[in-house]
Chain A
């Protein structure tokens, strides 16, 4: 996981949003989407910091998510609490939902409606979700919203 604080230090709010947004969009185009998860989480976090309308999504929301790549290379715990989002490189059993994925592209395919190939994901056993699926649905909304906003596709 890369250091978000360092990445945006010295940047204005607008610039930080722009740079992380670009990074997120770029991660979608990448063949393997290796950096998809970290780019998504970083952009999400900065949006929560700077965009009050978006922050409304997590006001009063408490949820703990474990993301894990199948090969063990990635293990990220994401905690939403009191309008704040925390990202930690660790594993925990005390979560609402755990998402195990084959690779970044598989996760992206699973999360983002615009980039979806549902059958492929299922056929290749690419993503397995354990726990409370409703938390996943909420996270899915927040992730999709970011992409739609960046690409000018909000309804």
Chain B
């Protein structure tokens, strides 16, 4: 319910919340440091205490109990919430059975590298090199999957980088746990249920497996409760030493909070926030945080907030607590070795919070807390959490959309906008019930997912569409891997006589690539089942308790796997250029086209390039040809992926969001028939190629009218608006129109090119400048040069004229 009058909360400022101001400054002044606590504890447990005869679930349950019990309680700053992901202010977490070993070669240089250096001490280097890492070379998910499947082709192909990435080698995050369960019941109640279910089972083999699962849940949750108790003791200890009475009082309150939650049901807003945060910390120990998302916090926390307001909590205090939570969420960063930085770097953990929208009955669910959370977002301007706003045309209020736009204008990059009407259609199309669909939240970048009931690993596959295009042009070979026959042998493009023939070859290569990457994801899923079940995540996921199954075995109510496609607009424009110029107008031959891209559109081909680039038949325009090709490609990808089953019996869904991968894959890819030169970034997400979609309304029309039910893993339409022209209500109008036409998601950078160019030159002047990448937000200074270039040259629309701004 909305009771506040001033939706902008103008009276709540950072100057009036000095704690947040100081914490924010501290956050930006702190260099991330590698933390060895988690790998040390896991390794030590595995070396000395693990019993390989136990089932995978039981092993995991015992391991995480140990990890949580031995996790150091750290209270290092004046944040009102207790608990830290690592023992550092901003920690880099190493997961030894995932990708921690990839940093091994760089241990002695990582603190001095140019982009995103991480602090590490000599002692920690020694410990990692001599004690921790040597245990793991044969025990990582990547290598176990390789060994179990005899180093299959699908995995060897991934190691060539340019085709696809299967992210299960990093973790299984990319989901929304059921935090409502945490605050409505408390962990002890969940633990009790697991115990009752365990005791009610007989002695059959199937029952034994379930018993192991229930035991694992109890073990790991008891570990979480121990950690909270340790935090409480630590707060008491510090309080006893504290001379400042105000601070002492805060610490004593903190001790009380941690005594109560997450074991018991929270009584206050602060307890509820801290309960969720401690559970999230626990989940960070179990899996790397890649888009482990928070769901609909304004809904989950509203009852606690409303009660506290009645008891006298002020709006400013509520915003302060939310701000503390936002800053906690940003207390760790992902590990990234240099190659990763160079190609795909600059990402945070990409934790999505979802605000607003409708409730399970379809009624407007925006409440006061929605606005308080928007205010905290506006004040702090942090990369994480990635704030996603839901809007239901006709149901949501106009003033809510206006306020969202205002925050976007003020922050330049957040929140992003989701259309409830389309997202609900997407989910019901995937078999989610209407009520559950309405209760969706965004995972990671943009992926709609029923909150707390879906295990959808929505980012398990990142596939480079242009690699299939290359193989279709060169009969199954790729320019990067030279003479190797990678894909199936199809007719060389020069010998093709019709556009249909070319499309057929592209379908063959795409189909083959999809087979490979699905096989790999399933192999990796089975490796997770074997060595890395996730009892804590399973405890907080609807369905697992009833089924007596870990999420990795299909315990969640809804199961799916999400594959993100990179290079959509570039492939559509390339295919369309081939159709228009080679087959329809016959302006030049396929052989000439191939020579032109082999020569990177150099001098003898400049005229062809100008012709191709100037054609209005482009993704994001009124072109019927481009639309038909986009519909065909999106349809083919959806149908093919949907025909595959994942290792948990769920379906594959397809999305168009790219994080920084469109720049990374672009840097590795040669010139394309679309007129794109080699190494240039691809267009991001579902966004048209920069310079190809000059009219804003055409661009929005084009994307909105794509069949979103075939874009079930979400899409990111990334637009840039010129700040001086972006004002209400015209900004809100464009979003409203886009949604009424069926658009699924849209997000804006509201920043001009000059500022970005200056920030590239003088990063030190812009430590906290953050931008939308494709789906999530990142600090501009952290992005690699390809990605910075992409953001700078990304189409920028002037909202007064509705036209793309021309530069250069």
Let me know if chains A and B touch directly in the complex, using CB atoms closer than 8 Å. yes
Residues of chain A whose beta carbon lies under 8 Å from any beta carbon of chain B: 56-57, 60-61, 63, 96, 111, 113-114, 116, 118-119, 122-123, 125, 128-135, 137-138, 140-141, 143-145, 148, 154-155
B38 to chain A, nearest CB (A): 18
B466 to chain A, nearest CB (A): 15
B471 to chain A, nearest CB (A): 15
**Chain B, Cβ-Cβ closest to A117:** B342
Give the CA-CA distance A132 to B156 in the complex, in Å: 11
**Chain A, Cβ-Cβ closest to B339:** A118
The verdict on A140 contacting B105 (CB below 8 Å), with A133-B142, A155-B111 known, is: yes
Give the CA-CA distance A138 to B487 in the complex, in Å: 32
**Chain B, Cβ-Cβ closest to A134:** B137
**Chain A, Cβ-Cβ closest to B140:** A134
Contacting residues, chain A, for B242 (C-beta < 8 A): none
Give which listed residue, B111, B151, B679, contacts A130 with CB less than 8 A: B151
The verdict on A61 contacting B134 (CB below 8 Å), with A125-B481, A148-B108 known, is: yes
Give which listed residue, B105, B120, B134, contacts A113 with CB less than 8 A: B105
Contacting residues, chain B, for A155 (C-beta < 8 A): 108-109, 111-112, 120, 122, 125
Answer whether residue B480 sits at the interface, using C-beta atoms and an 8 A cutoff: yes
Answer whether residue B588 sits at the interface, using C-beta atoms and an 8 A cutoff: no
Q: Given A125-B480, A134-B137, A145-B108, list of 11 further CB < 8 A pairs?
A: A96-B137, A113-B109, A118-B338, A118-B339, A123-B480, A129-B159, A132-B137, A132-B143, A133-B159, A140-B106, A141-B129
> What per-residue 1/0 map shows which CB atoms of B625-661 lie under 8 Å from chain A?
0000000000000000000000000000000000000
A150 to chain B, nearest CB (A): 13
Decide: B338 and A113 in contact? CB cutoff 8 A.
Answer: yes
Give the CA-CA distance A35 to B257 in the complex, in Å: 64
Answer whether residue B762 sits at the interface, using C-beta atoms and an 8 A cutoff: no
21 contacts between A and B (CB under 8 A): A96-B137, A113-B105, A114-B109, A119-B667, A122-B161, A128-B159, A129-B159, A130-B159, A132-B143, A134-B140, A135-B137, A137-B102, A137-B104, A140-B106, A141-B105, A141-B129, A143-B105, A144-B108, A145-B108, A148-B108, A155-B122
Decide: A134 and B101 in contact? CB cutoff 8 A.
Answer: yes
Contacting residues, chain B, for A137 (C-beta < 8 A): 101-105, 133, 137
Give which listed residue, A116, A133, A134, contacts B338 with CB less than 8 A: A116
Give the CA-CA distance A123 to B678 in the complex, in Å: 11
**Chain A, Cβ-Cβ closest to B156:** A130
Give which listed residue, A96, A122, A144, contacts B106 with CB less than 8 A: A144
In the complex, which residues 150-174 of chain B have their Cβ closer than 8 Å to any Cβ of chain A? 151, 156, 159-162
Give the CA-CA distance A99 to B420 in the complex, in Å: 51
B202 to chain A, nearest CB (A): 42
**Chain B, Cβ-Cβ closest to A129:** B159
Give which listed residue, B138, B143, B151, B342, contacts A119 with CB less than 8 A: B342
In the complex, which residues 340-357 of chain B have their Cβ closer than 8 Å to any Cβ of chain A? 342-343
Give which listed residue, A56, A129, A134, contacts B143 with CB less than 8 A: A134
Give the CA-CA distance A63 to B137 in the complex, in Å: 10
Give the CA-CA distance A42 to B338 in the complex, in Å: 27
Prevailing SS type, chain B contact patch: helix
Contacting residues, chain A, for B143 (C-beta < 8 A): 132-134
B320 to chain A, nearest CB (A): 39
The verdict on A123 contacting B668 (CB below 8 Å), with A113-B105, A140-B104 known, is: yes
**Chain A, Cβ-Cβ closest to B480:** A125
**Chain B, Cβ-Cβ closest to A59:** B130
In the complex, which residues 480-522 of chain B have their Cβ closer than 8 Å to any Cβ of chain A? 480-482
Contacting residues, chain B, for A148 (C-beta < 8 A): 108-109
Which 9 residue pairs are nearest across A and B when measured between Cβ atoms? A140-B105, A134-B137, A137-B104, A118-B342, A113-B109, A134-B101, A137-B101, A141-B104, A118-B339
B783 to chain A, nearest CB (A): 15
B25 to chain A, nearest CB (A): 28
In the complex, which residues 114-134 of chain B have their Cβ closer than 8 Å to any Cβ of chain A? 120, 122, 125, 129-130, 133-134
Decide: A144 and B122 in contact? CB cutoff 8 A.
Answer: no
Contacting residues, chain A, for B125 (C-beta < 8 A): 155
Decide: A122 and B104 in contact? CB cutoff 8 A.
Answer: no
Decide: A134 and B108 in contact? CB cutoff 8 A.
Answer: no
A146 to chain B, nearest CB (A): 11
Give the CA-CA distance A63 to B104 in the complex, in Å: 16
**Chain A, Cβ-Cβ closest to B146:** A132
Chain B CB count within 10 A is highest, among A114, A130, A133, A154, for A133
Decide: A138 and B133 in contact? CB cutoff 8 A.
Answer: yes
Give the CA-CA distance A111 to B104 in the complex, in Å: 12
Give which listed residue, A96, A122, A135, contacts B668 with CB less than 8 A: A122
Answer whether residue B107 sits at the interface, using C-beta atoms and an 8 A cutoff: yes
Give which listed residue, B122, B137, B343, contacts A118 with CB less than 8 A: B343
Answer whether residue B302 sits at the interface, using C-beta atoms and an 8 A cutoff: no
Give which listed residue, B105, B133, B159, B667, contacts A144 with CB less than 8 A: B105
In the complex, which residues 53-108 of chain B have their Cβ closer than 8 Å to any Cβ of chain A? 101-108
Contacting residues, chain A, for B342 (C-beta < 8 A): 118-119
Give the CA-CA distance A116 to B120 in the complex, in Å: 21
**Chain B, Cβ-Cβ closest to A154:** B108
Give the CA-CA distance A144 to B101 in the complex, in Å: 15
Decide: A138 and B104 in contact? CB cutoff 8 A.
Answer: yes
Contacting residues, chain A, for B679 (C-beta < 8 A): 123
A56 to chain B, nearest CB (A): 6
In the complex, which residues 173-230 of chain B have their Cβ closer than 8 Å to any Cβ of chain A? none
B545 to chain A, nearest CB (A): 36
Give the CA-CA distance A61 to B480 in the complex, in Å: 35
Give which listed residue, B108, B133, B482, B667, contacts A125 with CB less than 8 A: B482
Contacting residues, chain A, for B108 (C-beta < 8 A): 141, 144-145, 148, 154-155
Answer whether residue B766 sits at the interface, using C-beta atoms and an 8 A cutoff: no
Contacting residues, chain B, for A123 (C-beta < 8 A): 480, 668, 679
Contacting residues, chain A, for B482 (C-beta < 8 A): 125
Answer whether residue B45 sits at the interface, using C-beta atoms and an 8 A cutoff: no
A24 to chain B, nearest CB (A): 17
Answer whether residue B779 sits at the interface, using C-beta atoms and an 8 A cutoff: no
B79 to chain A, nearest CB (A): 30
Contacting residues, chain A, for B122 (C-beta < 8 A): 155
Give the CA-CA distance A133 to B342 in the complex, in Å: 19
A140 to chain B, nearest CB (A): 3
> What per-residue 1/0 map shows which CB atoms of B755-788 lie under 8 Å from chain A?
0000000000000000000000000000000000
A149 to chain B, nearest CB (A): 9
Chain B CB count within 10 A is highest, among A122, A137, A155, for A137
Give the CA-CA distance A111 to B159 in the complex, in Å: 16
Give the CA-CA distance A91 to B103 in the complex, in Å: 29
Contacting residues, chain A, for B112 (C-beta < 8 A): 155
Answer whether residue B136 sits at the interface, using C-beta atoms and an 8 A cutoff: yes
> What per-residue 1/0 map shows which CB atoms of B587-614 lie under 8 Å from chain A?
0000000000000000000000000000
Give the CA-CA distance A129 to B101 in the complex, in Å: 16
A78 to chain B, nearest CB (A): 15
B683 to chain A, nearest CB (A): 20
